[in-house]
């Protein structure tokens, strides 16, 4: 409510100034006096200076006062690099903006209309043109190549012992798929997607037998994570703000992002002083009416050992859906039962199920 009142007040003041300006112009036209026209030009020039000082002051004050609201704590290694590049770019652009802003309004004031005043004309200035072309080009090149180096690092191949996690986006939710003990995700096929097999697991591939589903994104602290990202319907975008992770989820292809979390959920709760703090993954691509609801809980374990214990406690998707053993080739079912951890007392009935092949 207070914000609305302030906005209304500012608009009211601007409206009053506009009408004063218009009335002054009309009076000048009726009287036909050039002196009053010159006077109004001076008033407007001073108003420009007042606007410059006020708006720049408000800009810097607001940025400082609300800094903690938009500068979230960093919880990943590459996040430090990302933040450095961001604030470096911000510094360059703010300095350039401030200089241009001041010069523009100062020129408006200094070269306002005055009776008998004549402007100086010159066709060009080669040195000036070279300077304002070369200097920005060098600065932009340094920023671009620094960003490219960071981008290449986070999209490069992950290490062999990295924790591999697949994140799947669909309207309007996220799901995560984890590999079993082999740390290898099984193949998937969109033709096999149904109400239960939402990943489209290709159960003819042995690496898929011990994969499991999670409705939370669990991450280890201090160990490299490789996110394999895809979408089932439209374009989505994985966004983990505290980890400075953002990558599009594209139907029909995998995108990847690797990073190392540096702060567990417990540590972040202590740092923020909020015992209810939880990391969150959101969708940063407008994907339909339910876009706002694509919020996915994220939990960072205190250690790699704790994370691995959590992995061991999860049941394979095939164990939770044993009817799908019929999609496993008959000669591989025994191995699938063992790898998925399906109870021995259900083996006989499952093995007698007819095989199903994909058309």
Domains: count for the chain:
1
The CA–CA distances, whole Å, from 84 to 12, 68, 77, 139 equal 41, 16, 12, 16
In a domain, 287, yes or no: yes
Classify residue 339: in a domain, yes or no.
Answer: yes
Please indicate, yes or no, if residue 184 is contained in any of the structural domains: yes
Interval 268-313: pLDDT, tens: 999 989 999 999 999 999 988 999 999 999 999 999 999 999 998 8
Asked if residue 317 is part of any domain, the answer here is yes
In a domain, 60, yes or no: no
From its phi and psi, is residue 194 left (phi > 0), alpha (psi between -120 and 50) or beta? beta
DSSP 27-80: HHHHHT-HHHHHHHHHHHHHHHHHHHHHHHHHHHHHHHHTHHHH-PPP-BHHHH
What CATH number did the domain enclosing 172 receive?
2.60.40.420
Assess if residue 259 is contained within a domain: yes
Tell me if 278 is assigned to some domain: yes
pLDDT at site 36: 52
Better-predicted residue by pLDDT, 118 or 100: 100
Please write the tens of the pLDDT for every residue from 29-38: 665 555 555 5
Q: How far is the C-alpha of 47 from the C-alpha of 45, rounded, in Å?
A: 5
Domain that holds residue 228: 163-351
Is residue 359 very low, low, confident or very high in pLDDT (cuts 50, 70, 90)? very low
**Residue 274 domain-assigned?**
yes
**What is the rounded CA–CA span in Å between residue 119 and residue 99?**
23
């Amino acid at each position: 409510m207070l914000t609305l009142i302030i906005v209304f007040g500012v608009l009211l003041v601007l409206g009053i100034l506009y009408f004063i300006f218009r009335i002054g112009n009309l009076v000048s036209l009726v009287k036909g006096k050039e002196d009053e026209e010159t006077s109004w030009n001076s008033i407007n020039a001073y108003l420009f200076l007042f606007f410059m000082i006020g708006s720049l002051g408000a800009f810097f004050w607001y940025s400082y006062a609300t800094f903690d609201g938009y500068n979230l704590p960093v919880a990943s290694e590459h996040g430090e690099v990302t933040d450095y590049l961001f604030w470096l770019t911000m510094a360059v652009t703010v300095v350039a903006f401030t200089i241009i802003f001041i010069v523009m309004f100062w020129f408006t004031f200094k070269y306002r209309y005055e009776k008998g005043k004549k402007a100086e004309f010159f066709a060009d200035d080669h040195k000036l043109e070279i300077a304002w072309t070369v200097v920005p080009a060098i600065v932009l090149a340094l920023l671009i190549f620094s960003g490219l180096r960071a981008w290449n690092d986070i999209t490069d191949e992950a290490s062999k012992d990295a924790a591999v996690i697949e994140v799947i986006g669909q309207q309007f939710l996220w799901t995560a798929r984890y590999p079993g003990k082999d740390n290898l995700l099984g193949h998937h096929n969109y033709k096999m997607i149904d109400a239960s097999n939402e990943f489209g697991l290709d159960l003819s591939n042995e690496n898929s037998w011990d994969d499991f589903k999670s409705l939370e994104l669990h991450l280890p602290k201090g160990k490299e994570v490789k996110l394999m990202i895809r979408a089932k319907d439209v374009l989505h975008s994985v966004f983990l703000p505290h980890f400075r992770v953002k990558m599009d989820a594209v139907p029909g292809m995998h995108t990847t992002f690797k990073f190392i979390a540096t702060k567990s959920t417990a540590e972040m709760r202590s740092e923020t002083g909020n015992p209810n703090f939880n990391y969150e993954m959101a969708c940063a691509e407008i994907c339909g009416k339910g876009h706002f609801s694509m919020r996915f809980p994220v939990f960072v374990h205190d250690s790699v050992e704790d994370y691995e214990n959590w992995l061991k406690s999860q049941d394979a998707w095939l164990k939770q859906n044993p009817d799908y053993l019929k999609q496993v080739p008959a000669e591989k079912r025994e191995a699938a039962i063992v790898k998925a951890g399906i109870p021995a007392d259900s083996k006989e009935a499952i093995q007698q199920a007819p095989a199903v092949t994909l058309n």
